[in-house]
Amino acid sequence: MNQNLLQTPIEYLKGVGPNRAETLKKELDIRTYRDLINFFPNRYLDKTGFYKIKDLQQNSSEVQVIGKIVHLKAIEQKRGQRLVADFIDETGKMELVWFRGHKWIRENIQLNTPYVIFGKSNFFNGTFSMPHPELEKLEDYKKSLRPAMQPIYPSTELLQKKGITNRVIMKLMQEVLQQTGLNFSESLNAELIGNLKLITKSEALFNIHFPKNQELLAKAQFRLKFEELFFIQLQLLRKNILHKQKIKGFNFDKIGENFNTFYKQHLPFELTGAQKNVIKEIRADLGSGAQMNRLLQGDVGSGKTIVALMSMFIALDNGFQACLMAPTEILSVQHYNGIIELCNNLKTSVYILTGSTKTSRRREIHQKLENGQIDILIGTHALLEDKVKFKNLGLAIIDEQHRFGVAQRAKLWNKNTTPPHVLVMTATPIPRTLAMSLYGDLDISVIDELPPGRKPIKTVHRFDSNRLKVFRFIKEEIEKGRQIYIVYPLIQESEKMDYKDLMDGYESIARAFPENQISIVHGQMKPADKDYEMDRFVCGETQIMVATTVIEVGVNVPNASVMIIESAERFGLSQLHQLRGRVGRGAEQSFCILMTSHKLSNDSKTRLETMTSTNDGFEIAEVDLKLRGPGDLMGTQQSGVLTLKIADIVKDNSILQTARNYANKILKEDPNLSMEKNTAIKQAYSRLVKNKTIWNYIS
């Protein structure tokens, strides 16, 4: 196939012209013949078969029926009339209904003449009816040429306004397929095509637009989805390989005093098997000579902090510094306190730097950092400031990755001429397949085991009307010596209203629990005040913590055993799961109570049901992904990253796996795609990379 022909600007296609070309560019990003051919329908009207009236189903979609109109009458209704036709075939009777265009129907319809009708049928009062059907005389129907299954293309308001209707797109598509002659060059190798029994590229492209039947459509979809996912995986895996070849990292081949002393003398508990494995993986990376770029996934409470610390010890043992960055002040402080405690009796020098660090202290830290007097620096985004210069940063750990943008990750990278090793830790488990697609350039470790002795958290859903019972329960728990979180939503757009809800809630709780001390923490407080309130709760001075979601991430108070989430219907699943993870950290039975009003959307119901039925973060992530779609899951920063042309990361999961396996296999054998049999793949791949058709990956 002549590649140049496919590069022809779209305005040269018959039926397009400069105006339409402009609209196609603007609305659909269609610039060339190739772009048009790669603009796929999102559904099809199946006109391959005919229904008998007696076989119509109540919930069927569009159907096609042959029959005759035997009677036509106007029925008065509130506003104007509707025109109703009795339509029969040899098996039964149905109604055709028009609310507009009566004149045309009356003048053109021929009674008792065979027609083919097409449309969506409704079932009402024991009769099937079809509003505004497509109508064509059987005689004409037989003569005309048409696709058996009509493609329906995604559209926009502007396209409609400019008259670029579905019919127009179909016409253009026919034109472009005719001109390009339907002999597209192959883009996969013979082995793949044979093993997966794929149809040819040309067949696939033709049938995705004008399927001859359902079976060919399914084959076309499979081939194109596979191809899309295959080339993405190929790109990710190649990037990973190149990265390992090219980007030299510090070689931490020593395991020395810091690590060993800690491991032998100060380890506060036996590591879980999963923790040991992950530390092994990290050790191997750090000693490989290539820069580590690893994602550590572990559910809330799975014990990532100690893994982080032990990894940092390896850096120190090799004469380097390490840093640990967290998204919030509270979390940084907590990491700092936890790590100070673990490093008690060790010579390690640990500092913290956040937005609220005083200027004089800040200066001291800057200096000590450059002198190498600081081993480990913990902090917030403040670590990213240009003034913060390390003597020799060897390992950067980022906790709670999804809060940090990609640019920030890059900034840490650039702190040295040789990039430090990077470990990204996340407690928002994302399904492995999605992780592979999003972070294909990172290696992935998973802590899939909780420390022993944890009791699963009991989660229930209660309506606001049962608040008194919930209060009684809280009282009992406090009497047993436990502490309680009560969390209110905080959504940026309605910050004022949320603030009011929080304050109202605080007051009603203060009234209901006059004997107890209550902490309150929200985003509008000064960091020092936040810390003060937080500390009171941590040391047990207060029994109840009323807060917005600022406490979402990482806060660790083992004695807190009840998490009450107010307006739980307003939270996303991963957030609910994160919040719940604040309890269940001690030896006591913990509870999570999801409070909602009676008004619940279907999605809210699914979220609540999921939360009450499982504690497994990965399972929850799967449901979340299904509810929200992958773009959303990653937050706005990365949304749109996963807008694929035809495949769907969630629904086409197994195709994704297959694509990844094959991409892996091919690259293992032929990393540069230079073997003869892979020529087609190499050509297609280079073109995709050159045209940036494969989207540019983060990082």
Q: Which residues of 290-304 are buried (b: 16+ CB within 10 A; e: fewer)?
A: bbbbbbbbbbbbbbb
Closest CB to Mg ion among residues 236, 430: 430
d(CA 44, CA 166): 11
* Binding status of residue 327 toward Mg ion by CB under 5 A: no
CB of 419 to Mg ion, least distance (A): 24
Stretch that binds Mg ion, among 49-57, 140-148, 550-558, 627-635 (CB under 5 A): 550-558
300 binds, among Mg ion, ligand ADP, none (CB under 5 to 8 A by kind): ligand ADP
* 3-state class (DSSP) for residue 210: coil
Closest CB to Mg ion among residues 249, 554: 554
CB of 554 to ligand ADP, least distance (A): 6
271 binds, among Mg ion, ligand ADP, none (CB under 5 to 8 A by kind): ligand ADP
53 binds, among Mg ion, ligand ADP, none (CB under 5 to 8 A by kind): none
Closest CB to ligand ADP among residues 554, 630: 554
306 binds, among ligand ADP, Mg ion, none (CB under 5 to 8 A by kind): ligand ADP
**Are 652 and 645 contacting, i.e. CB atoms less than 8 angstroms apart?**
no
225 binds, among Mg ion, ligand ADP, none (CB under 5 to 8 A by kind): none
* Binding status of residue 427 toward ligand ADP by CB under 6 A: yes
CB of 281 to ligand ADP, least distance (A): 16
Among 235, 272, 459, 549, binds ligand ADP (CB under 6 A): 272
**Are 399 and 333 contacting, i.e. CB atoms less than 8 angstroms apart?**
no
* Binding status of residue 556 toward ligand ADP by CB under 6 A: yes
**Are 677 and 191 contacting, i.e. CB atoms less than 8 angstroms apart?**
yes
Residue of 533, 531, 582, 585 whose CA lies nearest to 336:
531
Q: Where would I find the H helices in 429-546?
A: 432-438, 467-479, 495-512, 527-538
Name residue, tokens 């049962």. 466
Stretch that binds Mg ion, among 131-139, 261-269, 413-421, 554-562 (CB under 5 A): 554-562
* Binding status of residue 505 toward Mg ion by CB under 5 A: no
Closest CB to Mg ion among residues 320, 404: 404
Closest CB to Mg ion among residues 404, 685: 404
Structural tokens at position 37: 């051919």
Strand runs labelled E in 276-333: 293-298, 321-325
Burial class (CB in 10 A: 0-12, 13-18, 19+), 341: exposed
* Binding status of residue 302 toward ligand ADP by CB under 6 A: yes
d(CA 85, CA 94): 8
* Binding status of residue 354 toward ligand ADP by CB under 6 A: no
* Binding status of residue 585 toward ligand ADP by CB under 6 A: yes
Contacts of 621 (CB under 8 A, 6+ apart): 428, 429, 430, 431, 573, 574, 633
**How many residues of this chain bind ligand ADP (CB under 6 A)?**
18
Among 298, 554, 581, 584, binds Mg ion (CB under 5 A): 554
272 binds, among Mg ion, ligand ADP, none (CB under 5 to 8 A by kind): ligand ADP
Among 20, 225, 238, 304, binds ligand ADP (CB under 6 A): 304
Stretch that binds Mg ion, among 8-16, 119-127, 416-424, 549-557 (CB under 5 A): 549-557
Stretch that binds ligand ADP, among 157-165, 303-311, 502-510, 680-688 (CB under 6 A): 303-311
Phi, psi of 133 (to 5 degrees): -70, 155
Closest CB to ligand ADP among residues 159, 457: 457
| CA dist list (Å): 418 to 86, 305, 394, 456 | 80, 26, 9, 44
d(CA 569, CA 503): 19
Angle at 306 between CA 574 and CA 409, to 5 degrees: 60
* Nearest residue to Mg ion, scored by beta-carbon proximity: 554
Q: Around Cβ 629, how many Cβ atoms within 10 Å?
A: 15
* Binding status of residue 303 toward ligand ADP by CB under 6 A: yes
d(CA 84, CA 87): 9
* Binding status of residue 424 toward ligand ADP by CB under 6 A: no
116 binds, among ligand ADP, Mg ion, none (CB under 5 to 8 A by kind): none
Q: Around Cβ 385, how many Cβ atoms within 10 Å?
A: 13
CB of 286 to ligand ADP, least distance (A): 20
CB of 452 to ligand ADP, least distance (A): 7
Stretch that binds Mg ion, among 53-61, 96-104, 547-555, 656-664 (CB under 5 A): 547-555
* Binding status of residue 310 toward ligand ADP by CB under 6 A: no
| CA dist list (Å): 20 to 28, 158, 676 | 11, 11, 42
* Binding status of residue 630 toward Mg ion by CB under 5 A: no
* Binding status of residue 584 toward Mg ion by CB under 5 A: no
* 3-state class (DSSP) for residue 543: coil
Q: Which helix (H) or strand (E) holds 315?
A: helix 304-317
Strand runs labelled E in 354-413: 376-379, 393-399
The two counts, helices (H) then strands (E), for the chain are 25, 22
* Binding status of residue 327 toward ligand ADP by CB under 6 A: no
Stretch that binds ligand ADP, among 271-279, 357-365, 617-625, 626-634 (CB under 6 A): 271-279
Burial class (CB in 10 A: 0-12, 13-18, 19+), 72: middle
* Binding status of residue 271 toward ligand ADP by CB under 6 A: yes
Residues of the shown chain interacting with Mg ion in the complex, contacts defined by CB under 5 A:
554
Residues of the shown chain interacting with ligand ADP in the complex, contacts defined by CB under 6 A:
269-272, 275, 298, 300-306, 427, 451, 554, 556, 585
